[in-house]
């Protein structure tokens, strides 16, 4: 019997894409987003391609962690 779960690489883009369309005129801190389907087909062997073929996928991920070396204060308060 063939397994319905496959190892997969992550596709470059997800099954749904979010795009910043414009800044919110009523607020300096808001951005309007639009959700759309991807325009390009998924890469062969990627999670999106295998999901479209009816497989469950498994991809090992690394944890997201803070980068204390990033110049965040310089980004927030440029000279």
Tens digit of each residue's pLDDT (9 = 90 or more) over 51-60: 889 999 999 9
Region 39-53: mean pLDDT is 90
CA-wise closest residue to 43 among 4, 14, 5, 19 = 14
pTM, rounded to two decimals: 0.55
Q: Where are the alpha helices (DSSP H) in 1-79?
A: 47-52, 72-76
Specify the number of domains making up the chain. 1
Per-residue confidence (pLDDT) for residue 1, from 0 to 100: 44
Q: Is residue 47 part of a domain?
A: yes
Domain range for 15: 5-59
Q: Integer distance in angstroms from the first to the last C-alpha of the chain? A: 64
- pLDDT bin (cut points 50, 70, 90) of residue 17 is low
In a domain, 45, yes or no: yes
Give CA–CA dist 57/15, Å, rounded: 13
In a domain, 71, yes or no: no
Specify whether the CB–CB gap between 43 and 12 falls below 8 A.
Answer: yes
């Amino acid at each position: 019997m063939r397994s319905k779960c496959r190892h997969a690489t992550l596709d470059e883009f997800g099954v749904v894409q979010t795009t910043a369309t414009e800044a919110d005129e009523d607020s300096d801190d808001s951005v309007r987003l639009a959700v759309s389907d991807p325009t390009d087909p998924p890469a062969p062997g990627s999670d999106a391609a295998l999901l479209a073929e009816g497989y469950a996928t498994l991809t090992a991920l690394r944890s997201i962690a803070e980068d204390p070396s990033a110049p965040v204060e310089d980004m927030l308060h440029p000279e």
